[in-house]
């Protein structure tokens, strides 16, 4: 158990819908990262927040957004969902904002029908 929690574990929804994925970092970690794992793209970095502020953006679609709240939990919002958004979404956390060790949560498996 990494100490990073993600909810829900599974999510099934329809095209065009909007969903919110939630992540709680390890105690004491200030950074949260979101990654997407799909069969065709592998593990791709989406976005990072540090202590409530956006710090880095990767291959994140404009339909996707994220935020980190004062209690340091983070939410990833996915809207206007398409079939291709079906994937495993991971959250990771680390103590600071650099590239030191990131600890991953169990992931949320999203299926868009």
Partner 1 sequence: AQSVTQPDIHITVSEGASLELRCNYSYGATPYLFWYVQSPGQGLQLLLKYFSGDTLVQGIKGFEAEFKRSQSSFNLRKPSVHWSDAAEYFCAVGARGRRALTFGSGTRLQVQP
Tell me how far, at minimum, the Cβ of 16 lies from partner 1, in Å: 28
Judged by CB, which is closer to partner 1: 15, or 111? 111
Closest CA to 96 of 44, 46, 43, 56: 56
Residue 2 binding partner 1, by CB under 8 A: yes
**Shortest distance, position 76 Cβ to partner 1, whole Å:** 15
CB 73 within 8 A of CB 24: yes
Strand partners, 110: 11, 87
Task: Report the distance separating Cα 5 and Cα 2, nearest Å.
Answer: 8
Residues 82-111 that bind partner 1 (CB under 8 A): 90, 92, 97-107
DSSP state of 62: T
**x/- site string to partner 1, residues 27 to 66, per CB under 8 A?**
----x-x--------xx-x--x------xx-x--------
Q: Are strands 5-7 and 103-104 parallel, antiparallel or unpaired?
A: unpaired
Q: In the complex, which residues of this chain contact partner 1 (CB under 8 A)? A: 2, 4, 31, 33, 42-43, 45, 48, 55-56, 58, 90, 92, 97-107
């Amino acid at each position: 158990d990494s100490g990073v929690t993600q909810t829900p574990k599974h999510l099934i929804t329809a095209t065009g819908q909007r969903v919110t994925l939630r992540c709680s970092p390890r105690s004491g970690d200030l950074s949260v990262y979101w990654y997407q794992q799909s069969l065709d793209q592998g593990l791709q970095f989406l976005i990072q927040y540090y202590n409530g502020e956006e710090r880095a953006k990767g291959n994140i679609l404009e339909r996707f957004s994220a935020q980190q709240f004062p209690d340091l939990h983070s939410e990833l919002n996915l809207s206007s969902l398409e079939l291709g958004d079906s994937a495993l979404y991971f959250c990771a956390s680390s103590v600071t904002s650099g590239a030191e060790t990131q600890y991953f949560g169990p992931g949320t498996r999203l299926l868009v029908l």
